[in-house]
Structure 1
Amino acid sequence: MSSRGHVVLQPAYFTSSIYVKALRDDITTLVHTFHERYQQDNTKPFALFKTLWNGQGWKWMHFRVFDSRTRETFLSTTIRLFLERMVKTEAPFTRTVALFALYTFFNTQPTSSAPTLYTLSNIPIPVDHYNSLIVLPTALTTAHLAPLQPFASYAIGSLVNASVFHLLPSSELGALNPREVPREIFVEEGLIDSNQPKKKWHTSKRDKVIKARTALDAVGRSLEQASPAPEARRTALRYEEQKGRLLREIGSDATNLREASEGVAQRLREAQEEQGENVQAWAGLARVETALESAGGMLRLHSSG
């Protein structure tokens, strides 16, 4: 008898926008909360940080995933997001809080759990970011930031002496893997990702429905602008009846949509035969026939007509 399967998060989850965006927001919350509390009492900065770290649930982060393959991506992505708040373009206070978070997260990896969990032994960092990190304590000299300086110096010295930093080429060369995070962009159903250009030769069912509705609205406007004679008004009423039928069919299979589209055109042809060629509304018929011909039997928006 086979053993019961286990649900395992795939590594791609931790490089996707779902995880990356949420963690970035959490890091920002940690920074802001620490800043508020630090303004009230800055006598023991790192003790205050540990209180917030535990209180916000960061101490449970290491138990989010246990599969070694996925855990490696989880750890490297999390550390990378701490590092990105430590670059020299960030405010010194933010950089220091991110340093505290990196130091705490890296040094609290479980080493005596059963079963044994995968742990990171080094921290990849571009050489330019490393150089700016090493001199961070020199930026903490103002009266407001001075209480942070000895703790920042200790955290950096501890990590450097343990040789945990793995130096990579300069950040402008994109040596981190993946080059950018998030790598996978999650798009909710029904929304379009504007960053992903569509292939010109592919038309989705949703696009066809939108174009069909647009074409119907265009024909309706043409009929409204036609002569107010009784014949034209009757033609407009017939059109509205057929339009309602077509809209009810939209969203079903292509065969029904094609039949409904042809029904609209056929009703307009019959009305033309009954009332003659001099009714202005027949511009609408020409538009419908052109749309049908160009869309393979289904109404869609067409630039001519």
Structure 2
Amino acid sequence: MASVIRGNVALQPSYFTSSVYVKALREDITTLVHNFHEQYKEDNTKPFALFKTLWNAQGWKWMHFKVFDSRTRETFLNVTVRLFLERMVKTQAPFTRTVALFALYTFFNTQPSGSAPPLRGLSHIPIPIDQYTSLIALPSTLTTPYLTPLQPFASYVVSALVNAQAFHLLPSSDFGALNPRDVPREIFVEEGLIDSNQPQRKGHQSKRDKVIKARTALDAVGRWLEQTPSTSDVRNTSVQYQTRKTRLLQEIGPESTSLREVSQGVVDRLREAQETMEGEVEVWPGLARLQAASESAGGMLRLLQ
């Protein structure tokens, strides 16, 4: 009987660009940020040592051994560093950006070497020029009392990556220079969740789902209108608010930094809450307005002028 050689099972590159891997890794990064934040609140004297302990305890040190096939491994490495980088853009909270920076640095510098056979490594981190500029400026944004302990470590990590020429600069994010342009590229849809009466492309809502969603939104608007107070009630409430706000600003002084610090703390907590609920709620555009108000004299009390 002729012998049969059993083939090795290997993940395809498309697995790591699909929603199966991308969504799971995004959730893991959010968990890493949340857990580090909880421990940082208790002890922030050695933040990077604390981060390394958490990194090892949560099993991140085994990430490099998820795949060994060279072709698939290249995609795995590129997508993973890309998901770390997406948590370092300006729209993310400074704390989140710093944790993602630590993760990127640790992941890049713990690639296995000297193995036999050798594993394919990532020699440079592809990064759009606008994200690179934002990353370089990150340490200078860690100026609040809560974030100051992170600043020297963030500065060292950025300098180490730049001096090692770890980055491969790409055109601005607006040009979509990363490959693939967007992740996830492939959307996994569980069997049975597609409307059997309506052909549906993966990742797209059926007409029936859109109708249901529209009706639900319309009902919600109707209930909101029923509960909304009359114009006169709103006007009276606004006058009371303006009177009390003016009195408070006179007491503490309009140029007091206390309101700015308190307002910035509120913004940071809202960002962390939004990151924790990522994937469950849509991005709240009001955060940008709160951020702008927190940086002005009077802090968030300046929202209603």
Give the TM-score category using the shorter length: 0.5 to 0.7
| Corresponding position of 1:12 | 14
| Corresponding position of 1:251 | none
Counterpart amino acid of 2:170?
L
1:2 offset after TM fit, Å? 5.4
Quote the Cα distance in structure 2 between the aligned partners of 1:51 and 1:65.
24
Which of 182, 188, 209 in structure 2 is aligned with 1:180? Answer: 182
Q: Give yes or no for the alignment of 1:75 onto 2:77.
A: yes
1:142 offset after TM fit, Å? 1.2
Q: State the structure with bigger RCO (CA 8 A, min sep 6), 1 or 2.
A: 2
Structure 1: give runs of 5+ residues left out of the alignment: 201-305
Q: Give yes or no for the alignment of 1:65 onto 2:73.
A: no
Tell me how many residue pairs correspond in the alignment: 199
Quote the Cα distance in structure 1 between the aligned partners of 2:170 and 2:149.
32
Quote the Cα distance in structure 1 between the aligned partners of 2:75 and 2:187.
16
**CA deviation digits over 1:136-188, x for unaligned, max 9?**
00001111101101110111111111111111111011110000000000000
TM, length-normalised to structure 2: 0.63
Quote the Cα distance in structure 1 between the aligned partners of 2:76 and 2:112.
14
| Corresponding position of 2:282 | none
Structure 1 outlier segments of 4+, above 2 Å: 1-4, 192-198
Counterpart amino acid of 1:101?
A
Q: What RMSD in Å do the two structures reach over aligned CA positions?
A: 1.5
Counterpart amino acid of 2:78?
S
Q: Give yes or no for the alignment of 1:196 onto 2:198.
A: no
Matches within 5 A, 1:1-305: 1=3, 3-192=5-194, 195-196=203-204
Quote the Cα distance in structure 1 between the aligned partners of 2:126 and 2:159.
17
Quote the Cα distance in structure 1 between the aligned partners of 2:105 and 2:6.
38
Structure 2: give runs of 5+ residues left out of the alignment: 195-199, 208-305
Counterpart amino acid of 2:111?
Q
1:196 offset after TM fit, Å? 3.2
Counterpart amino acid of 1:159?
L
Quote the Cα distance in structure 1 between the aligned partners of 2:44 and 2:205.
50
Quote the Cα distance in structure 2 between the aligned partners of 1:3 and 1:104.
39
1:112 offset after TM fit, Å? 1.2
TM, length-normalised to structure 1: 0.63
Quote the Cα distance in structure 2 between the aligned partners of 1:155 and 1:165.
13
Report which of the two structures shows the higher radius of gyration computed on alpha carbons.
1
**What percentage of residue pairs aligned between the two structures are identical?**
76
